[in-house]
């Protein structure tokens, strides 16, 4: 992959509405930025959209191996995700850092007449741990990043054995410590992890610009 081009900044000026609420498993596509302004020399980036599941990190690595030879491809990923699995998100973050990729919380504008433009996106819950892996992390003002306490679900039989009971399972320190070490490794304050773990899982705290800067999660521009 080759280094980012100033042409990429062209797309950052055209943000639309927030991403739709429903998402499927994360998929990866190549997208061209710049429209008619750069013609055949328009840069390409990887667009990642959807929920991060166990298979996502391997799918990303396979995608890069297949498409990484494109001469127009820049070392940039557009990220739009409602969240997903914590371990898978960290694995995706490690892959991004190993490849030296920058990450922009953005998605391709759905309006086909605005070829090459970007739209506002989200990176919520476990997606933040994938975002941390970016060599450079860009969170434009129109996009949003949100955190809450992590949890999983366990299913067991009721005491009478006549129906299934589904309940949340929370971390009691081990995963939080692992995530704190991971954040520090990626150059981000572990205070972000501590704050997320203090936030109710029933609500999402959307990070303010000052929090993003204070915890070194990203910057508003490339």
In a domain, 137, yes or no: yes
Contact, 151 vs 170, CB < 8 A? yes
Number of domains observed in the structure of the chain: 1
SS3 71: coil
**pLDDT at residue 210, rounded to an integer:** 97
In a domain, 179, yes or no: no
**pLDDT at residue 167, rounded to an integer:** 63
CA 24 from centre of chain: 14
**pLDDT at residue 200, rounded to an integer:** 83
Torsion of CA 100, 106, 110, 116, to 10 degrees: -50
HEC per residue, 77-100 = EEEEECCECHHHHHHHHHHHHHHC
In a domain, 76, yes or no: yes
User: The pTM is what?
Assistant: 0.80
In a domain, 98, yes or no: yes
In a domain, 194, yes or no: no
**Rounded (5°) CA angle 206-211-214:** 160
CATH at residue 12: 3.90.226
In a domain, 196, yes or no: no
Question: Which residues form the domain of 98?
Answer: 8-147+201-214
In a domain, 51, yes or no: yes
**pLDDT at residue 73, rounded to an integer:** 85
Question: Which residues pair with residue 118 across a beta bridge?
Answer: 108
In a domain, 186, yes or no: no
CA 56 from centre of chain: 12
Could you read off the pLDDT tens digit of each residue along the chain, which spans 222 residues?
434 444 343 344 333 233 334 469 999 999 888 766 666 678 889 999 999 999 999 999 999 998 877 777 889 999 999 999 999 999 999 999 999 999 999 998 876 545 667 899 999 999 999 999 999 999 999 999 999 887 565 566 667 666 676 666 656 767 779 999 999 999 999 999 999 989 888 889 999 999 999 999 999 987
**pLDDT at residue 180, rounded to an integer:** 94
Contact, 50 vs 77, CB < 8 A? no
């Amino acid at each position: 992959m080759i280094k980012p081009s100033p042409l990429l900044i062209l797309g950052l000026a055209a943000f639309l509405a927030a991403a739709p609420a429903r998402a499927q498993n994360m998929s990866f596509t190549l997208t061209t930025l710049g429209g008619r302004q750069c013609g055949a020399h328009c840069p390409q980036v990887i667009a990642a959209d959807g929920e991060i599941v166990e298979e996502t990190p391997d799918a990303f690595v396979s995608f890069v191996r297949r498409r990484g030879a494109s001469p127009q491809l820049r070392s940039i990923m557009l990220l739009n995700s409602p969240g997903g699995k914590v371990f898978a998100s960290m694995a995706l973050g490690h892959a991004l850092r190993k490849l030296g990729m920058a990450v922009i919380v953005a998605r391709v504008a759905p309006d086909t007449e605005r070829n090459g433009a970007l739209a506002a996106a989200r990176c919520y819950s476990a997606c933040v741990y994938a975002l941390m892996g970016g060599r450079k992390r860009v969170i434009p003002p129109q996009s949003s990043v949100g955190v809450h306490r992590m949890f999983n679900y366990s299913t067991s039989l009721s005491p009478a054995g006549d129906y299934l009971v589904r309940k949340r399972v929370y971390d009691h320190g081990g995963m939080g410590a692992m995530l704190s070490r991971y954040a520090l490794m990626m150059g981000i304050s572990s205070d972000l992890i501590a704050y997320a773990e203090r936030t109710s899982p029933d609500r999402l705290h959307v990070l303010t610009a000052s929090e993003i800067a204070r915890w070194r999660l990203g910057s508003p521009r490339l």
